[in-house]
Chains A and B, each alone.
Chain A
């Protein structure tokens, strides 16, 4: 206390001086038009730069949040696109859409852990049962397939990637009526093989591969990859088609889980209830 008083006695007039000058300055820039204008302009000039730097730092700190919100937005848009395609029969392979709109719930999720260099590769997603993820749901990114949910815990779920020896995805060649299974047999993380396309099929290099919609995992018409080469299977009736994926599974950080299986089930239950009641 005594020190404080001493301090005030010694420097009090300095503080008062600063205080009064501050008041004067505020008065000047507040009540004088030309000074006010100059002040605002120059303040903007000098603080603008600082502000923008601070904003950039701030943005960086908020990046995670921004990512999450973008992810939600993306998932909403994605479901709209899929619904739109369904509504306009854009995909030729609608196996089960009886109605014109098929409302997908798309759950965005971050990838918590991944193995990518093994023969059988998995993603672990940071969302699970609590967020609505169930076994058997399809997992995609905005430009391609990722895999299928294999098992679900409360807050995590495991995904069998396309890059898995047991992975079989029903795909089709866009605008042609051939379909087959997509399997992974190479070690290249962008190359897949499409099986079971008959030899008489009329194929071209560069044909687009999409999901067929013949399974309850993925809706039809999702882009998968393109044909890079094809040759008749030795001693078989089918072509062996090399497919290059559009997306890079290795670098996927954010994925979307498509709720379609669940939806079907619920629909079934609903109609049963209706029928009985």
Chain B
């Protein structure tokens, strides 16, 4: 119960930050318009590992749609988040530490270490960004566009997400 309230608050906060703050940040410079910061996947990444697969997909969908509503791009973010939600179990298995995960672990620097969180976040965030920009450009005719946007946005988003990890790490 306490957990679900925590998640809901987190959900709302993260979306508010995304759509009220980050959406307005314009990092374009002349022709260079490749940076769009997306930190809201962090909500998905922070959910505990033993979260039900079904629910996880649905949460991903709801998260994406919520962001989409504010971005006026119905379905684009949701497509990316649902995909992230789907691949997370595989990614987790792939980067599983030798001692395994404790049962209801949330990924945090304190428990799993900085480099693990970095790798975990990078993989999923990159997938998210790549899928998002692919769906946004929505044409295989502009692969350079997709890749440039993905890479620059990914770097900036990743930095911010890692900062958030540091700032809000649970005291232990």
Tell whether A and B belong to one assembly.
Answer: yes
- Closest CB of chain B to A7's CB: distance in Å? 14
Report how far A17 CA is from B87 CA in the complex, Å: 10
Report how far A223 CA is from B44 CA in the complex, Å: 84
Q: Does B86 contact A (CB under 8 A)?
A: yes
Instruction: Point out the residues of chain A lying under 8 angstroms from B64, CB to CB.
Output: 24
Instruction: Point out the residues of chain B lying under 8 angstroms from A28, CB to CB.
Output: 73-76, 79, 135, 138
Q: Does B53 contact A (CB under 8 A)?
A: yes
Which residue in chain B gives the minimum CB-CB distance to A35?
A: B138
Q: Does A96 contact B (CB under 8 A)?
A: no
Q: Does A232 contact B (CB under 8 A)?
A: no
Q: Does A70 contact B (CB under 8 A)?
A: no
- Closest CB of chain B to A221's CB: distance in Å? 64
Which residues of B from 107 to 154 have beta carbons under 8 Å from A?
135-136, 138-139
Q: Does A49 contact B (CB under 8 A)?
A: no
Size bin of chain A's contact surface: 20 to 34
Q: Tell me whether A24 and B73 are in contact in the complex, defined as CB-CB below 8 angstroms, given that A13-B54, A34-B138, A39-B138 are known contacts.
A: no
- Closest CB of chain B to A38's CB: distance in Å? 5
Instruction: Point out the residues of chain A lying under 8 angstroms from B53, CB to CB.
Output: 12-13
Report how far A23 CA is from B136 CA in the complex, Å: 16
* Cross-interface CB contact of A32 among B58, B60, B76, B85, cutoff 8 Å: B76
Instruction: Point out the residues of chain A lying under 8 angstroms from B83, CB to CB.
Output: 17, 21
Report how far A195 CA is from B139 CA in the complex, Å: 77
Interface string of A22-40 (1 = CB under 8 A from B): 0111111111101100110
Q: Does A95 contact B (CB under 8 A)?
A: no
Report how far A43 CA is from B148 CA in the complex, Å: 26
Which residue in chain B gives the minimum CB-CB distance to A26?
A: B75
Instruction: Point out the residues of chain A lying under 8 angstroms from B138, CB to CB.
Output: 28, 32, 34-35, 38-39
A25–B86 CB distance below 8 A: no
**Dominant secondary structure of chain A at its interface with chain B:** helix
Instruction: Point out the residues of chain B lying under 8 angstroms from A32, CB to CB.
Output: 73-76, 138
| Most chain B beta-carbon neighbours within 10 Å: one of A13, A20, A23 | A20
Q: Does B82 contact A (CB under 8 A)?
A: yes
Which residues of A from 180 to 214 have beta carbons under 8 Å from B?
none
How many contacts between A and B, using CB within 8 angstroms?
Answer: 67
Q: Does A57 contact B (CB under 8 A)?
A: no
Instruction: Point out the residues of chain B lying under 8 angstroms from A31, CB to CB.
Output: 74-75
Instruction: Point out the residues of chain A lying under 8 angstroms from B68, CB to CB.
Output: 27
Q: Does A16 contact B (CB under 8 A)?
A: yes
Interface string of B156-170 (1 = CB under 8 A from A): 000000000000000
* Cross-interface CB contact of B75 among A12, A16, A24, A38, cutoff 8 Å: A24
Instruction: Point out the residues of chain A lying under 8 angstroms from B139, CB to CB.
Output: 38, 42
Report how far A62 CA is from B74 CA in the complex, Å: 43
Report how far A23 CA is from B54 CA in the complex, Å: 16
Report how far A23 CA is from B68 CA in the complex, Å: 13
Q: Tell me whether A13 and B86 are in contact in the complex, defined as CB-CB below 8 angstroms, given that A24-B64, A35-B138 are known contacts.
A: yes
* Cross-interface CB contact of B79 among A14, A25, A30, cutoff 8 Å: A25
Q: Does B15 contact A (CB under 8 A)?
A: no
B135–A20 CB distance below 8 A: no
Interface string of A97-127 (1 = CB under 8 A from B): 0000000000000000000000000000000
Q: Tell me whether A17 and B75 are in contact in the complex, defined as CB-CB below 8 angstroms, given that A28-B135, A39-B138 are known contacts.
A: no
Instruction: Point out the residues of chain B lying under 8 angstroms from A21, CB to CB.
Output: 79, 82-83
B57–A17 CB distance below 8 A: yes
The 3 closest A-B pairs by CB, nearest first: A27-B75, A28-B75, A24-B79
